[in-house]
Amino acid sequence: MGKSKQKKVLGRGLSALLNDNNHNIESIVDDNAELIVGSIIDLPIEKISNNPFQPRTHFNEESIKELSTSIKQLGVIQPVTVRKIKGNKYQLVSGERRLRASELAGLKTIPSYVRLADDIESLEMALVENIQRQDLDPIEIGLSYERLINEIKLTQDQLSERIGKKRSTIANYMRLLKLDPIIQTGIRDRFITMGHGRALVNISDSKLQIELYKKIVKKGLSVREIESLVKNLRDNKTKSTDNYLSPFINQAAEELKTILGTSVSVTSNKQGKGILKINFDSQEELQNILNKVKGD
């Protein structure tokens, strides 16, 4: 009796399984549904329709072109998520920018997480089980955390309880997903470590991120060395942005320059506090400045 219910399509490719009209999988209770949940499958882009509930209506075309160029070079780093609808059709759940950029890049298929109508609990189980694997790279772990939070609607605290990891650990892995795709690929291919990535994510400029990434690979910089380099860059940026000159302060400095007959420099912050520097080349010039200040 049990043998008659054995799954006849085990061992076949998942794509073939989804396209098999004799074994149509619509719900988590259908045969072989557990093989689909949590898996990544290459799906034809033409079979994926846009999500009618997509909240974003405007997409930056230049950004899509840049992503398309990246996809041509590196492929799709992060799969899109789709929901299987009737027949062999799919509806996009998340990843519209990636889908658009992949179409622009001329791809015919795209790696996709396939969701079923009632697979929330099973998806959570599959993802949590996936996270426990020893062979996952940091980016894959970050993606799994992101999916649990976005698709299962867990908070970081709830996720922390479910998987037995500190909230800060979860946050550190997810922050890696903010890195430029080139650097994410570098982490996955072990050109750099997660520690390097954690340091680089503190740089918001992606071009500078890539510059530093190339330095790490070329010179074999340690995590401590790159952390120090990033800190210096951020400190220098803070110093440059701290100097805020209002139109009034600029005008006052120019008037002092005219009155005193010497160069005057001013640094100030947005609260109006600052330092005034008056230059002189000799004691005689300093005496002349004093006389002008006193009105002599």
Give the residue numbers annotated as catalytic, written as ranges. Answer: 96
Count the residues in the chain: 296
Residue written as tokens 């799709």? 76
Q: Which residues on adjacent β-strands are paired with residue 266? A: 276
What lies within 8 Å, CB to CB, of 84 at 6+ separation is 18, 25, 26, 36, 90, 114, 115, 116, 117
Distance from C-alpha of 294 to C-alpha of 167, rounded to nearest angstrom: 63
Q: What type of residue sits at position 110?
A: I
Q: One-letter amino acid identity for 23?
A: H
CA distance 234 to 192: 21
Using an 8 Å Cβ cutoff, are 176 and 194 in contact?
Answer: yes
* 3-class DSSP assignment, residue 96: helix
Structure tokens at 109: 């298929």
Q: 76, 89, 72, 82: which is closest to 51 by C-alpha? A: 82
* Cα–Cα distance, 13 to 109 (Å, whole number): 15
